[in-house]
Structure 1
Amino acid sequence: MKMRHSLYHIILLSLTAVLFTACQPAPDEPAQSDAPPIYVSPNDDREYGVLELENGLQVIVVSDPEADKAAAAMNVHVGSLQNPDEQLGLAHYLEHMLFLGTEQYPDPDEYGDFMSRHGGQHNAYTADDHTNYMFEINNDRLDEALDRFADFFKAPKFYPEYSEKEINAVDSEWSMRRASDGFILFALNNKKMNPEHPIARFRIGNSESLGDKEGSVLHEEMLAFYEKYYSANLMTASVVGNYSVEQLKEKARAAFADIPNHNAEVAEIEVPAVTGSERKIQLFYKPQMEMRLLLLDFTIENNLHEFRKKPNEYIAYLINSEMPGTPAAYFREQEWVDSINASAQENAYGNAGRFRIQLELTGQGMEHREAMVGVLFEYIEKIREEGVRTSYYEEIKQVLDNRFQFLERSGAFDYATSLAASMQHYPLAHVIDAAYRFDEFNEEAIHRVLDQLTVDNLRVWFVSPEEEVDQELHYFDGEYRIEPLQDSVIANWLEQGREVDVSLPSVNTLLPEDLAIRPIAGAESPQKAVQKEGVTAWYQRSERFHEPRAEVTLNFNQAHHERDLRQRLAASVLVEAFRLSQQALAKEASIAGVDFNLSVGNGLTLGMSGFNDKQPELAQRVLADFASYEPSASRVEQVKDRLRRSIENQNRQFPVQQLGPRFGHLFSVPSAEDSERLQTLRELDVADLIQVRDALLADNYLRALVVGNYSAEDVEELVAAVQQIVATDASARYQRSPVLTPRAGQKLQWQRNLELDDSAILDAFIVEDTSVQSRAKTNLMAELMHNRFFNQLRTEKQLGYAVGVTALGAREHGAMAFYIQSPVASTAELLEHFDDFRADYLAYLEEMDDEAFVEAREGLLVSLREQPQNLREEAARIRADWQRENYSFDTRLRLQQAIERLSKADMVQFYQSEIQQQQNVMRVLIQLQGTRFSDADWAELEDAQVIEDIGNFQRQWLQQE
């Protein structure tokens, strides 16, 4: 279940990964607290405490005096594997029902409303072996939040009258995913395991699998499931806040001590995940999106308990290497692959795990995929015979030690979530360091895994639009075929593999050697390290994160080439082709702890993130390689095909995920309809790319921003070094990429039919002026409206799963949008529901008491006041101001101050003038009509300009400016 600030609530923003971060003394010294101790990172000054309550519930508390918000999570060691056969998806359905009121707080909306009023968010998810519930709240409301949260695990109401609505909610969630290749492949893989194993069953649930049946009443089954498994002895909890360890313990004890303990047990899975019938097979899948994959799957023993020995990671490290002579390097040289990745999930099937090698293939690679299987088996044999060495162990250990020694923080919400889950899988002492601990080189453990990476244990997947299929997958839209893997077939593959001479990787030369911390300069905001004709460089030593890392942005600025669609697409093809050519270096650098990315936007931009020691050397290597890069004709065709698929596949993404990019295309200049982009892409050749490369390297204005472990002198040296490679123009001036300027009173409408079932709309309001006051009002209005909008359209009306109101980033303009994806309504019907909600909302806002308004405003302010959790977050905030040329670097502060001054009367006036009367806003409606509603009418904005062709629209708009 995804609630406030869910994945879909932030579809219009960049997704950020959940970081599993950690904490305090040295890697080999446990934190001092109640036994057992917890091993933590020396890069964290938080304090930890552990308690086991009398009811058997284990709790970790984290005292962080600097935490802007508090958070908690409760993990229950039961999930989809425990679903009864008669009610598939029951664990997920229960997760939904649990949120709808308790004995102490019976109102189904009370929990969400409370979180919304106090800067909070809440969420939950159901996995195969656990279900995790979590929330975040303003620190001063932690006691009240814990009281509400804990009551879910003591006395939930489970109102029967909400059953049908939550079945519909689960069904909507399933409907969103039924045509997603990732979910289809996941479901198909599980279905083709041992049919006697619970992993082989449908897991998410829908209106077909959930409901009353002969011999099975859903509500009774749910109550029985809850009584059986929701027991304190199967739960682990975490609490994070700015209170002392003892205070947090007392809060946890007060909230959780009386959760019932039924001494529940989760039965061990006795049946094997695979038998002879499910091994040594070929699976052919025809995807919904255009993709070409080769997957080698091996079912392995669940060796999660061997996390200190890391046999899976050791083998994956060698397979993933792109050093010369390795399979990955060979495949790239042949232009057979776009990517290769080996990884293991130790408990993928509960009592068994999976080791997977995944290759994303090119068109050429499709013709050689059997040979690639042979090469990989040849390489695995070489690892078995020659590759189990202490030298590789020491290199991997150094990589992990460096990461753990300077482990970055995540926010309280993510951290609490990961801790509660980790407690179910690792000894309490190692819930933080398990992913980084590599205590011993154990040849036996490594060979034990290698002995399972065999032909007899192989499940090989061929995924492409060309696959011949003969079966449909129940519950999902996928089609597939399965064949046994004959000895003669695999013998031929192995013979092809022996024709290629593969070798083990050489030593990584980019591992950091200098981890010294530079002296802090003392400035509170970025300072200029270089200012001369054609060059400006800013730098900021972090006062918060004292670590040998840096975030570097080198922008060789020129925006003139971006006004032409052909040049922009040529630049995109060029940098993507170059990226593919640099994968060996990129992989080596990433393993060493520094990532880089070359992109085009406002000119050529090189970004680097991570340990700073080798960054100057890396920058020079990358830029020198780019300056002399000439892609082959075959590589250009490979990248053009890749970008073509990316454009075409966007139409097959979740409808709600398409809304943000479609909105952005309207305003980003130059843009065009997919058909024009594809036609222009087809026309590009090597000469176009060389021309763009030379243009990108000439007449530049170099703007540099460095945040982290650099001195002013270090920045000067870096700038001087890169100027030797990319020339700058003394007469050049900074130019920003053009965008369309919003016009008050204008209404725009863009609409397309989808090949998917569901419909989706985004209804945006963009304020014409660029004042911080306008941004403050749109941000606060979205905060005020979201929870009520979600409750009415999602919970009460059951219109869809992905529903929300969000503030938008539209350069300096204040903007907000309403959005939804629905399996039950057309776009016209959805807009009507939006209008109905907005018609009633003014009265609700006017009647809102002052205390509730202040609480909601304060909740938003607490979020804005949150300190960055790591250097990347700190640099991102600085970079945003740097890019908009606000060298006071105070946008966030001014936005806070503007919000602090807003009264309820201000927001009522803003709602009347801009949402109802639309006096100073431009309104933009993006609508995607699903196949279920192909005969339905489009939503219509009165007097709106319907955009038939984005390119023509932009050209006409710019002519009028």
Structure 2
Amino acid sequence: MSVLRSRQTPWLLCGLFLTAILAACASAPESVVQPVQSPNDDKAYRLLTLDNEMQVLLVSDPETPKAAASLDVHVGSGDNPEGRGGLAHFLEHMLFLGTDKYPDAAEYEEFITEHGGNRNAYTSFEHTNYFFDINAPYLPEALDRFAQFFIAPRFDAEYVDREKNAVEAEYQMGLKSDGRRGLDVLQEIMNPGHPFSQFSVGSLESLADRPGSSIRDELLSFYDKYYSANQMRLVVLGAESLDELQSLVAPMFSQVPNKSYELSGIDEPLFNPEQLPMMVQIQPQATQRQLQLLFPIADYRADYHAKPLSYLGNLVGHEGEGSLLSRLKDEGLVESLAAGSGLGWRGGALFSVTVTLTEKGVAEHDRIAQMLFAYMEMLRAEGPKEWLYDEQSRLAELSFRFQEDSSPMGYVSRLATGMHDYRPGDVLQGPYIMDDYQAEMLAGLMESIVPGNAVVILEDADVSTDRRSRHYDTPYSVQSPTAEQLAIWQNPVAEDAFSLPAPNQFIAEDVSLVKLEKDYVAAPVRVLEEGRKTIWFAQDDEFRLPRGVTYINFRSPLVGENARQSASAVLYTAMLKDRVNEFTYPALLAGLNFSVYKHAQGISLRIGGYDDKQSELLDAMLKVMANPDFDGQRYDNIRKDMIRSLENSVAKRPSSQALDDLREALLYGEWGEQPVIHALRDMQLEDVVAYARAFWQSASAEALIYGNYSRDEVAGLSQRLDMLLAQSSVDTVPQLRVLKMDAGESVLYPVDIKHDDAVLAWYLQGGGNSWEDRAATALTAQIMKSGFFQQLRTEQQLGYIASAFAWPQLDVPGLVMLVQSPVADSAALADAMDTFMRGVEASLDEAQFQRHKKALINEVTRPHKNIWERAEFYWQSIAKKQYAFDGRETLAEAIEGLSLEQWQAYYNTVFIEQRRSLQVAAPGKNGLLPAGSQRRVESAQTLKAGHASYLIE
């Protein structure tokens, strides 16, 4: 781990740096625009165009604990030179690895991490987006490092050679991803003259040096051509005033060269006219069944005031009564449907309709296409409806009017991308504007959704294929639909098969704020506790929006005792959601959200959003829960779909599978896929109904009402809960338990993951479950994070995924080191992790330790950004019985109390000398597991059986 050489205090350094920047002179911006902002947004904005033609949006938020910045370059994988697949993506990787001003490849990552931040980037077909956040006082120094990416990157030859391995690892990691495999087929069947047909990710083959052409030279050429200030959009959010931000940002980013690169339109069609209609069949890795219908359409991005794709996507993707999905479900053909804009480019786009299929739906996929085209005929016959458009417009306006804060880093990243598409004054409201009803435009769009313009893609394990895609070796076939298929697609259905959505009864009308009570307190209060009911209540006095939440936790002893109980609860909640879907979908569109799901001790129901009309949604949900009336055919389809989803876990990213296995090994009441699948296979509808009755006979309820409510809501909720809960005495619910490892205990848990990559998830449990243990373990993860990535990922190139992070389970402290590697076996990964850990303590000095402490304390005590974060904190505190709601402050105090010497002693004792170690290892293609004297277990249940555990109060 390299060390920052400056010994000045961070606050002094920041102040000196900012003073120097404010004193610098820069050319005056060419223009200044004040974007339209939400009435609920109290940040200040200024949009500048610098003298190098870079557009910059400044965001001043004096209260923000985190500053953030994002720069979006209007270049992506669609701009890769012919035969150099992945070059744009490779360039994105390289910009992180040293600049002329900051040549150390680790310096940027270390600085961001040590000052409480995160950084990342992504490459899409048209964009490359770089972003970071950091504790607000350190924005000037972070921005200086960030700006150098676009002024003077080094492209050090040593790291060019190394980082190709990271791109290769990312490519290898996706070989079993059906999303990437499907995209590989789509790119192969596209018009080869379209730039999007090129390989996107990159590999050692596509990025290899070639006679007369080194990849480094091509990187430099690509950078020099496309990375031009006039094609960049920058967003900077900080606690400084707008004037201070402008004085900081303008001198830095005015140095970015303007090469006057101009985007050109793409004249080539994505599919040549003679290719359409097209029928494609793909064999997936997972047991998924999917039908996708793609339609080339015009590029409507400049028509964002009209948003024709939003209008059509809302109708085709509607899930209420009379919808396409409703009819397809009635016939037992599909499980879900999504519709809307897909791929877009300068000159066109794809409208996409995607359905997940039942077994019957696979056999009758032509019937599904017929139903879609018949639905479109109905829409064309009805014609565009201004009242439907106005309804969507009202919902969009409400969303913008009551917009809430989100993650600063995610916010600036989205804004930077959107700045390419929206006029300067609209960069904030652009995604929400829908105020230009154009019937002719809508009608023209509908004319494109016809059989003759369709690419129909069927994914199923049993389809016939005769080709394999080049990069992901995906079996597929492509042909024109037969005359018989076309006849089916074009055959009309009954006139009354579909109908337009009814007016949405859930759109909020009363958006007034309730008065705060005279005896208002700033945290939930237990206002009712009787029989099987406990209700907490709190008004929101900070965010003051016409929104709120009602969370209900139904606890029962009949959930986690065995895999069959777990399967029954999950299946029951899935049936509930399906049963109310037609009714609740309009509520979802209107900004009312609900979820019902199984958890470790029971079933939770959550409702949130605008408080107006919330009671109607809650009444409907509780009524169905009290008197389930389930359809046998829907039950069978949902059960089979659930089994298929569990079987598809083998197609998840191997590192994610390893973490799932680790979680199962640590938490009692968690069951792996196979026991749940076994329970589901012979489960009948009557079994689930009987389980539901038994569950409600044993259930008790704890609820939270928080937001824009008066206390009158408590009595109403209490009466509603009486519909479900028995009147007998409360049943005892077993306590939650977490595996408790002994000092010096070392366990190896080999898992079977079907992938060539090796994976090691090495879990190290804290020394106990006190606040001091939690603090020391979390601080250890903070200290390790940056160096672990730099050493195992950047320097050793062991794999694309290489991370170390805190991983508490039900607050029991622990940390995880995780690597997925295409080049090393899990034994070598264990050696590399151990070597790294043994060097951490010696590489840390007092200044770094204090920076890490401050970064972690700031993260722990970060103010909640919105009402949903606050509600989640209250709800989790109630579940943990932390009724003082001071868990964050208590943890921060424990972190603050740690000295370097105390932490060093804890680290050496707990994480080196007397480790509580559990290694979940997948051997990969090399077949080697970590060596040593650790005890080997063959299953999570074997490990937990008879083992000591933490009892969670």
TM range (shorter): over 0.9
Amino acid at match of 2:140: D
CA distance in structure 1 between the aligned counterparts of 2:672 and 2:371, rounded to whole angstroms: 42
Q: Distance in 2 between matches of 1:270 and 1:565?
A: 57
Q: Quick check: 2:283–2:462 contact (8 Å CA) kept in 1?
A: yes
1:451-493 deviations in Å (ceiling 9; x for gaps): 1111111001111111111111111131110010234421123
- The offset of 1:393, in angstroms, is 1.2
Find the counterpart in structure 1 of residue 919 from structure 2.
925
Distance 1:490 1:63, change over 3 A: same
Q: TM-score, normalised by structure 1?
A: 0.93
Q: Give the match for residue 449 of structure 1.
A: 445
Q: CA–CA distance in 1 between the matches of 2:496 and 2:285?
A: 34
Alpha-carbon distance between aligned partners in 2 of 1:621 and 1:677, rounded to the nearest angstrom: 30
- Paired AA for residue 350 in structure 2: R
The offset of 1:217, in angstroms, is: 2.0
Where do 1:643-662 residues align within 5 Å?
643-662=642-661
Structure 1 residue 593 corresponds to structure 2 residue 587: no
Aligned match of 1:863? 859
Tell whether the 8 Å contact from 1:699 to 1:728 is kept in structure 2 after alignment: no
- The aligned residue for residue 947 of structure 1 is 937
Summarize deviations over 1:857-883 as a string: whole Å, max 9, x none.
111122222211111111111111111
CA distance in structure 2 between the partners assigned to 1:132 and 1:739 by the alignment: 40
Equivalences for residues 770-809 of structure 1 within 5 A:
770-809=769-808
Aligned pairs for 1:169-318 (under 5 A) are 169-318=166-315
Give the direction of change, closer, same or farther, for the CA distance of 1:740–1:663 in structure 2 (3 Å limit).
Answer: same
* Gap change, CA 1:654 and 1:261, over 3 Å in 2: same
Do 1:701 and 1:730's aligned partners in 2 also have CA atoms closer than 8 Å?
no
Give the distance between the partners of 1:34 and 1:558, measured in 2 at CA. 63
- Which residue of the partner structure matches residue 569 of structure 1? 567
- Residues 429-444 of structure 1 mapped to structure 2, 5 A cutoff: 429-444=425-440
TM-score, length of structure 2 as denominator length? 0.93
Which letter maps to 1:374?
Q
Q: Contact 1:700–1:729 (CA<8 Å) still a contact in 2?
A: no
Structure 1: distance between partners of 2:722 and 2:202: 58
Give the aligned partner of residue 687 of structure 1: 686
What is the distance in 2 between the residues matched to 1:156 and 1:895?
40
SS of 2:33's partner is: coil
Residues 757-776 of structure 1 correspond to what in structure 2 (within 5 A)? 757-776=756-775
Pair 278,428 (structure 1): closer, same or farther in 2 beyond 3 Å: farther
Say yes or no: does 1:851 pair with 2:841: no
Q: Paired residue for 1:14?
A: none
In structure 1, the partner of 2:17 is none
Secondary structure of residue in 2 paired with 1:267: coil
Query: Alpha-carbon deviations, 1:640-688, whole Å to 9, x = none?
Result: 2222222221122111111221111113333445443322221211222
TM-fit CA distance, 1:544: 2.2
- CA-CA distance at 1:417 after TM superposition: 0.9
Give matches, 1:472-511, under 5 Å. Answer: 472-495=468-491, 497-498=493-494, 501-511=497-507
- C-alpha distance in 2, partners of 1:440/1:150? 39
Q: 1:893 to 1:102 in 2, by over 3 A?
A: same
Point out where structure 2 has 5 or more consecutive residues left out of the alignment: 1-29
Q: Which amino acid aligns with 2:392?
A: I
Pick aligned residue for 2:335 from 308, 333, 338: 338
RMSD of aligned residue pairs (Cα, Å): 2.0
Q: Does 1:814 align with 2:813?
A: yes
- Residue 951 to residue 849, structure 1, CA distance change in 2 (3 Å): closer
Partner of 1:537: helix, strand, or coil?
strand
Change (3 A) 1:144 1:441: same
Q: Which residue of 2 aligns with 1:579?
A: 577
Which residue in 1 is equivalent to 2:896? 900
Taking only the aligned residue pairs, the percentage that are identical comes to 30
1:743 shift after superposition: 4.1
Aligned partner of 1:523 in structure 2 is: 521
Q: Which residue of 1 aligns with 2:407?
A: 411
Offset, 1:132? 1.0
Cα pair 2:777 2:814 within 8 Å, conserved: yes
1:121-200 superposed matches below 5 A? 121-200=118-197
1:621 matched residue in structure 2: 620
How far apart in 2 are the matches of 1:61 and 1:525? 35
* 8 Å contact kept, 1:273–1:351: no
CA contact (8 A) 1:742 1:767 kept: no
Cα 1:35–1:487 change in 2 (3 A) is farther
Residue 36 of structure 1 aligns with which residue? Answer: 33
Q: Does the 8 Å CA contact 1:371/1:497 hold for their aligned counterparts?
A: no
After TM superposition, give the deviation of residue 161 of structure 1 in Å. 1.5
Instruction: For 1:45 and 1:75, locate their aligned partners in 2 and report how far apart those are by CA, in whole Å.
Output: 25
Matched, 1:61 2:58: yes
Aligned pairs, how many?
Answer: 919
1:736, CA displacement in angstroms? 4.4
C-alpha spacing 1:721/1:670, structure 2 compared with 1 (3 Å): closer
Structure 1 419/879 Cα, relative in aligned 2: closer, same or farther at 3 Å? same
Query: Relative to structure 2, which stretch is displaced further, 563-572 or 775-784?
Result: 563-572
Counterpart check, 1:885 vs 2:881: yes
**2:353 corresponds to which residue?**
357
User: Matches of 2:638 and 2:735 in 1, distance apart?
Assistant: 27
CA distance in 2, matches of 1:534, 1:83: 63
- After superposition, the C-alpha distances for 1:539-574 in whole angstroms (9 at most, x for unaligned) are 222232111111221112223442132122112112
Q: How does 1:317-336 map to 2 (within 5 A)?
A: 317-336=314-333
Q: Distance in 2 between matches of 1:261 and 1:249?
A: 19
Structure 2: distance between partners of 1:693 and 1:886: 30
Q: Is the 8 A contact 2:117 2:132 kept in 1?
A: yes
The letter of the residue matching 2:89 is H
Of 396, 399, 423, the residue aligned with 1:427 is 423
- State the one-letter code of the partner of 1:141: Y
Greater shift, 489-498 or 644-653, is seen at: 489-498
Q: CA deviation at 1:332?
A: 1.7
- Name the aligned partner's letter for residue 268 of structure 2: V
Residue 497 of structure 1, CA deviation: 4.0
**Paired position in structure 1 for 2:25:** none
Name the SS of the counterpart of 1:86 in structure 2: coil
Unpaired runs of 5+ in structure 1? Answer: 1-32
Which residue of 548, 551, 559 corresponds with 2:549? 551
User: What does the per-residue CA deviation read over 1:362-391, in whole Å, with 9 as the maximum and x for residues that have no partner?
Assistant: 122223221111111111111111141122
Deviations 1:280-312, CA, capped at 9 Å, x for gaps: 000101101110111111011111011111111
Question: What do residues 771-817 of structure 1 show as CA deviations (whole Å, max 9, x unaligned)?
Answer: 11111111110010111111111111110011111001211311111
Equivalence for 2:389: 393
1:534 touches 1:733 (CA, 8 Å); kept in 2?
no
Counterpart AA for 1:513: E
Cα distance in structure 1, aligned partners of 2:884 and 2:669: 30
Compared CA separation, residues 941 and 711, structure 1 to 2 (3 A): farther
Counterpart in the other structure of 2:24: none
Question: 1:375, 1:500 within 8 Å by CA — same for their partners in 2?
Answer: no
Once the 2 structures are TM-superposed, how far is the Cα of residue 916 of structure 1 from its aligned partner?
Answer: 0.8
Equivalent AA in structure 1 for residue 938 of structure 2: E
Residue 573 of structure 1 contacts residue 689 of structure 1 at CA under 8 Å; is this kept in 2?
A: yes
Distance 1:112 1:508, change over 3 A: same
How far apart, in 1, do the equivalents of 2:296 and 2:934 lie? 60
Residues 779 and 842 of structure 1: is their aligned pair in 2 closer, same or farther, counting only changes over 3 Å? same
Give 2:920's aligned amino acid.
Answer: I
